[in-house]
Structure 1
Amino acid sequence: MEAAPDTPRRTRAALAEIPVRLERLLVTPLQPVTNTREVSPSLPPGYLSPAPSPDEFIIQQRGRKRLPTTWSPDIETKRDAAIHSTVRTPPKSPGRSSPIKVGVTLRSTPRKSLLGERKRIPLTPEKIDFSDISTPPKFKINSPAKGAGGALPIKRTRLDKTFDREFKAPLDIALKGLNTTQLIHLIKKVIQKHPEMEQEILQDMPAPDLTPCEEKLSYLTSNIFKSLPTSRLASKTDSRAYSRVAIHLSEFKKCLVKQGKLLVESQHWESVMKYVFLAWNYVRATPVWDNQPHNAQRKQCFKALTNFCLTALKKGEFSTDFYSDAQEKLHNMEADSEEIQTCLIYVNRQLLEY
């Protein structure tokens, strides 16, 4: 329905109340709010922070201590004396984390003081100065009585004494307790007393026994193969397998070279040739690695045996049958190392001369 045109238009009653409410919201900026409860009395008393206690007011009014504005020498002297009277912390030594007790006086350099005292200890009677009063009495050494010639008597140790009694055990059993050097000195001493026995000993001297050498090489070779991986999926010639066997290869090479040098120094040339043929087969049985630098020890073993063989061929005297047998063996060894060709050329030359 449309309103009648002559009806007067009415305003809202709520708009008339706005000026009254705006007067309540006005805040004067120059008048600080001292108590929030007076402005908003409807808030509960526990909502706002409680009033500070009387003790806090006293503490706030007390403030921090300040030095006197006027300088007094008495006050300054007392303060310096109080600072110097406290125990200073000694320097912390490196490697020591335990706390140091207050009141215990520690020496700054105990090691130096001990070394200084140790230098004063006389080691020999000649260095003692008995006129020095500072030398402690416990360090003074009485000089021993000198002999008729003026020299100090030399005390013979128990190890240097020789027993005059005879061995009840047989000679072969008594010699088992001696090492190689002692046996050599004993034989040389006997030959000096009886020079005619030297030729007889040389004629009856047997060839060196290579069985212990072969057993040692066989044992070290078995250690090499025991260290290889046993899984069928793992390679036995790669770098990972070599890392497990490297130490055993080094021991094998060391033993092989040591035994060969000992035979060369003894100048048993025929035994040296037999050892070369024997050890060559063990070196040939060692693994051939995929990475060529890992085969360096194998090549070094072949080179050492080649040098032993060439030295024995040049310094030894062999028969034609021995040269023929060596020629056939050297041909088989040529496939493992080309350096053996020098020995083969020398053997062929000796066969042509015969």
Structure 2
Amino acid sequence: MEEMMTSENERRTHAAQAEISIRMDRLQLTVLEPLINTMDRTPAVPPNHLSAASSLDETVIQQRGRKCLPVSWSPDTELKGNSTIHSFVQTTPKNASHLTSPTLADTLRFAARKRLLFENSERIPLTQKEVDFSIPQQFEISSPIKSTPPNKKTRLEKTMEYNEPFDVALKGLSPSQLIDIIKSVTYKHPEIEYEIRKNMPVPDLSPLEQKLHYLKSNIYKGLPTSRLTSKIDSLAYSRVSTHLAAFKKCLVEQGNVLVESQHWESVIKYVFLAWKYVRATPVWDNEAHNTNRKQCFRALTNFCMTALKEGILEKDLLIDTQDKLQGMVADSEYIQSCIKQIQEQL
């Protein structure tokens, strides 16, 4: 039994050694002939020169050869080469007997010599005829800040011969034109001024009243017409605030014209006339919205006070004015100052 086991072990050992020898034979490397370009091989090179001792990298490096310039032409490459040649020629000193590479000192010396020659050279100034830097007129930009103001031309009044009736011609003139005509005529003929003063009427207040009536009607036209909405609340005021401002402006301007004309009796009549229209304007729920109404009363009070101080009024007119002013105190307390002024004069 032991002899059989020993023979079995020996048989396995011989089988394992045979397997190892076979595998070792497979691991042996076979040196192959390196790949060589057949076109590069020449008869002058012996075959044994390319031995297996050279590595693959060395073989690839040997096959590369020298670098050559590209076949396609490039202007940048040629310009770069020409610039190096020109710079070498320009920086070479003139007295050099043979071509040598320029040093830094020679280059700086040559550049300084060129700069001195350029500075000392005579410069020919350009005349205005040769070079014109003026801007065309169509492209000029006028600035109201930098430019000088133009000379103001005197206005010439154009006159014309008018064959129509004289009163028809005067209707087309403005108040300032009429004043200028009358002043020029009375300056040449003083007796005419006396006639005009003697026949001068009082100012007509009907056009002023018509304008106030028109503006007051615009206020009421702008108010809401529905029965379900209030006509004196903030919403209604916002709809007619523009008309209220226009009414106040017209009232003040008309009063100023009468005060400047110094027709004092007409000023007092205008105060009573305009007071009725101001009283007829709406009184709003919000007290701040009644500012325009108060300002109108205050302006009329100032007109009346100016007429009482500046004008020389008759006693009967003062008494009548005082009686009317008593009924206006309820609208504005400012009118009491006018009543006191009348009492002092009486």
Instruction: Specify if TM > 0.5.
Output: yes
Within 5 A, what are the aligned runs for 1:185-334? 185-334=180-329
In the TM superposition, what is the alpha-carbon distance from 1:300 to its structure 2 partner? 0.3
* 3-state DSSP of counterpart to 1:231: coil
In the TM superposition, what is the alpha-carbon distance from 1:339 to its structure 2 partner? 0.4
Asked if 1:335 corresponds to 2:339, the answer is no
1:129-179 superposed Cα distances (whole Å, 9 cap, x missing partner):
975731579769xxxxxxxxxxxxx9x99x84855x742112111111211
Identify which range, 205-214 or 192-201, moves more after superposition: 192-201
The structure 1 residue matched to 2:169, chosen from 174, 178, 189, is: 174
| Partner amino acid, structure 2, of 1:201 | I
Q: Which has the larger radius of gyration?
A: 2
Aligned to 1:133: 131
The structure 1 residue matched to 2:341, chosen from 334, 346, 351, is: 346
In 1: Cα distance, 2:171 partner to 2:343 partner? 44
In 2: Cα distance, 1:272 partner to 1:130 partner? 72
1:274-301 superposed Cα distances (whole Å, 9 cap, x missing partner):
0000000000010111111100010000
In 2: Cα distance, 1:161 partner to 1:268 partner? 30
1:136/1:295 Cα in 2 relative to 1: closer, same or farther (>3 Å)?
A: closer
In 1: Cα distance, 2:171 partner to 2:248 partner? 29
1:27-61 superposed Cα distances (whole Å, 9 cap, x missing partner):
xxxxxxxxxxxxxxxxxxxxxxxxxxxxxxxxxxx
1:316-338 superposed Cα distances (whole Å, 9 cap, x missing partner):
11112111110111000000000
Within 5 A, what are the aligned runs for 1:15-26? none
Greater per-residue helix proportion: 2
* 3-state DSSP of counterpart to 2:227: coil
In 1: Cα distance, 2:128 partner to 2:188 partner? 53
In the TM superposition, what is the alpha-carbon distance from 1:200 to its structure 2 partner? 2.0
* Moved beyond 2 Å, runs of 4+: 129-133, 135-140, 159-163
In 2: Cα distance, 1:161 partner to 1:204 partner? 29
- State the identity %: 59
In the TM superposition, what is the alpha-carbon distance from 1:196 to its structure 2 partner? 2.3
In 2: Cα distance, 1:181 partner to 1:138 partner? 45
1:161/1:302 Cα in 2 relative to 1: closer, same or farther (>3 Å)?
A: closer
Q: TM-score of the superposition, structure 2-length normalised?
A: 0.56
In 2: Cα distance, 1:241 partner to 1:139 partner? 58
Structure 1: segments with no counterpart, 5+ residues = 1-73, 75-80, 82-128, 141-153
* 3-state DSSP of counterpart to 1:196: helix
Identify which range, 304-313 or 225-234, moves more after superposition: 225-234
The structure 2 residue matched to 1:184, chosen from 173, 179, 182, is: 179
1:236/1:187 Cα in 2 relative to 1: closer, same or farther (>3 Å)?
A: same
